[in-house]
Amino acid sequence: MLSWTSPALNPLPASDVPLRLYDTRTGRIAPIIPLTPGRARLYVCGITPYDSTHLGHAATYHAADLMRRALLDTGVEVEMAQNITDVDDPLLERADRDGVDWRELAASQVELFVSDMAALRILAPQTYRSVSEAMDGIIAVVRSLYQRGRAYPVEASDAEGPDWYLDLSLDGALGDVSGWTQEQMLEVFAERGGDPDREGKRGRFDPLLWSAERPGEPAWDAGELGRGRPGWHVECVCIAEEALGLPFDIQAGGSDLIFPHHDLSAAHAVALGRPFATSYAHSGMVAHEGEKMSKSLGNLVFVHRLVQDGVDPMAIRLVLMAHHYRSDWEWSAQELELALARLESYRLAARRGGHHPGTVHALRSALRDDLDTAAALEALDSWAAGADVEENPSEGPGDVAAAVDALFGIALD
């Protein structure tokens, strides 16, 4: 899939203090040391394109963008991959309800997403691939799991062939990423696409690997497993492997993906005989009107609507920066006002110019410290107020506007 055009990136001279990031799997903040020296590999779970990008999505891709910019600032190259879940229940149901072809629905929503990402100056992933584009590879992974004895059939009354599930009991990897108890898993599994009570399953959390063809649904031929379509988790395993190789450095996404999606994606990889990601970074959930912003609840604030209303996308980035990426928070109009005022004061300060190595150093350190954007805003507020002190005027780069652009993706011109 064609992704968007990245904004120009003019990195600062590299400084090799590593990025420290919270890892959900270990529960600790630790330095990111790329498995391949000088080359970090980052996978971020992409959208299910049946409705527009809302601010929750934007917050998650903004957090991943900051990870990427922080890694670049430590002098390593970053390879990034992102999927598009264009073959999935909610999308197919929406297409059916609205009488449109699922491919058209997906394409129109991807187009909106891509323009939102470009407006927000999020760096584009080098690989941006949908499930339908990756289908040959996904089928190869599904068949390989079958050949390794990890797949079992479950009879489907509404289909000709059986559905296929991954037997988690064989590798014992359930819970490796989330560290959750079975009770915690059960609380969210059904609402996040799982089917704990389906008859014929060997384990409650065994994920659907291959769904048999149903009338009116798109289907592909998977040899011994029959015609059908893939389950959710296997797509990210396949796209990550093809684009980045396994294992890779960081798997990112919103905290609603910790379980089941990231836990079970990793379990698929283990069943294939390979480790998945080395570390797992999760961003908090954005709420609106008291509840998590979600397509199913309909309490959405859309990026493109704000942009259409004349809101500067750079102010949206400043709202996102006001919240630590790992915390849950609620979108409010007052915060946008504050961000617009900030943007104006930063632009004025940028025009004033000057050499501010103290501020630039503070920005870089804040970003490397588990993306401490609040500390970065504090440094920028003092700079804009004219209070920044030139500690080492002769040392290092001091152009704040250039640093704000490279590190935080905010254009101040």
Residue 47 lies near ligand 5CA (rule: CB under 6 A):
yes
Contact 378, 358 (CB under 8 A): no
Q: Which of 12, 45, 293, 318 binds Zn ion (CB under 5 A)?
A: 45
**Residue 284: CB minimum distance to ligand 5CA, A:** 7
Q: Which amino acid is at 339?
A: A
Write the binding mask 80 to 109 for ligand 5CA: x where contact by CB under 6 A, - elsewhere. ---x-x------------------------
Residue 117 lies near ligand 5CA (rule: CB under 6 A):
no
**Residue 93: CB minimum distance to ligand 5CA, A:** 14
What string of DSSP letters covers 285-297? PEEETTEE--TTT
Q: Which of 24, 52, 60, 109 binds ligand 5CA (CB under 6 A)?
A: 60
Residue 236 lies near ligand 5CA (rule: CB under 6 A):
yes
> Which one of 151-159, 182-190, 194-202, 290-298 is the stretch in contact with ligand 5CA (CB under 6 A)?
290-298
DSSP 8-class letter at 214: -
Separation of alpha carbons 32 and 47, rounded Å: 25
What does 47 bind: ligand 5CA, Zn ion, none (CB cut-off 5 to 8 Å by kind)?
ligand 5CA
Give 30's strand partners: 21
Minimal CB distance residue for Zn ion: 45
Strand order in the sheet with 208-212: 151-154, 163-166, 208-212, 227-230, 220-221
Q: For helices 400-408 and 357-368, give the axis angle rounded to 10 degrees.
A: 10
Q: Which is nearer to ligand 5CA, 284 or 357 (CB)?
A: 284
Contact 48, 83 (CB under 8 A): no
What string of DSSP letters covers 154-208? E--TTSSS-EEEE-GGGTT-TTTTT---HHHHHHHHTTTT--TT-TT-SSTTPPE
**Residue 399: CB minimum distance to ligand 5CA, A:** 32
What does 117 bind: Zn ion, ligand 5CA, none (CB cut-off 5 to 8 Å by kind)?
none
Spell out the residues 6+ positions from residue 56 whose beta carbon is closer than 8 angstroms to its own: 254, 285, 286, 292, 293, 294
> Which one of 43-51, 219-227, 303-311, 333-341 is the stretch in contact with ligand 5CA (CB under 6 A)?
43-51
> Which one of 179-187, 271-279, 287-295, 359-367 is the stretch in contact with ligand 5CA (CB under 6 A)?
287-295
DSSP 8-class letter at 125: P
Separation of alpha carbons 39 and 79, rounded Å: 7
Write the binding mask 366 to 395 for Zn ion: x where contact by CB under 5 A, - elsewhere. ------------------------------
Tell me which residues in 248-267 interact with ligand 5CA (CB under 6 A).
253-254, 256-257
Q: Which is nearer to Zn ion, 60 or 359 (CB)?
A: 60
Q: Which of 110, 286, 314, 377 binds ligand 5CA (CB under 6 A)?
A: 286
- Please list the helix, strand and coil fractions of the chain in percent, rounded to the nearest 5, in that order: 40, 15, 40
Q: Which is nearer to ligand 5CA, 151 or 239 (CB)?
A: 239
Q: Which of 3, 4, 42, 56 binds ligand 5CA (CB under 6 A)?
A: 56
**Residue 261: CB minimum distance to Zn ion, A:** 6
Contact 144, 160 (CB under 8 A): no
Contact 363, 379 (CB under 8 A): yes
Separation of alpha carbons 68 and 115, rounded Å: 20
**Residue 139: CB minimum distance to Zn ion, A:** 18
In the complex, which residues of this chain contact Zn ion (CB under 5 A)?
45, 236
In the complex, which residues of this chain contact ligand 5CA (CB under 6 A)?
45-48, 56-57, 59-60, 83, 85, 236, 253-254, 256-257, 283, 285-286, 292-294
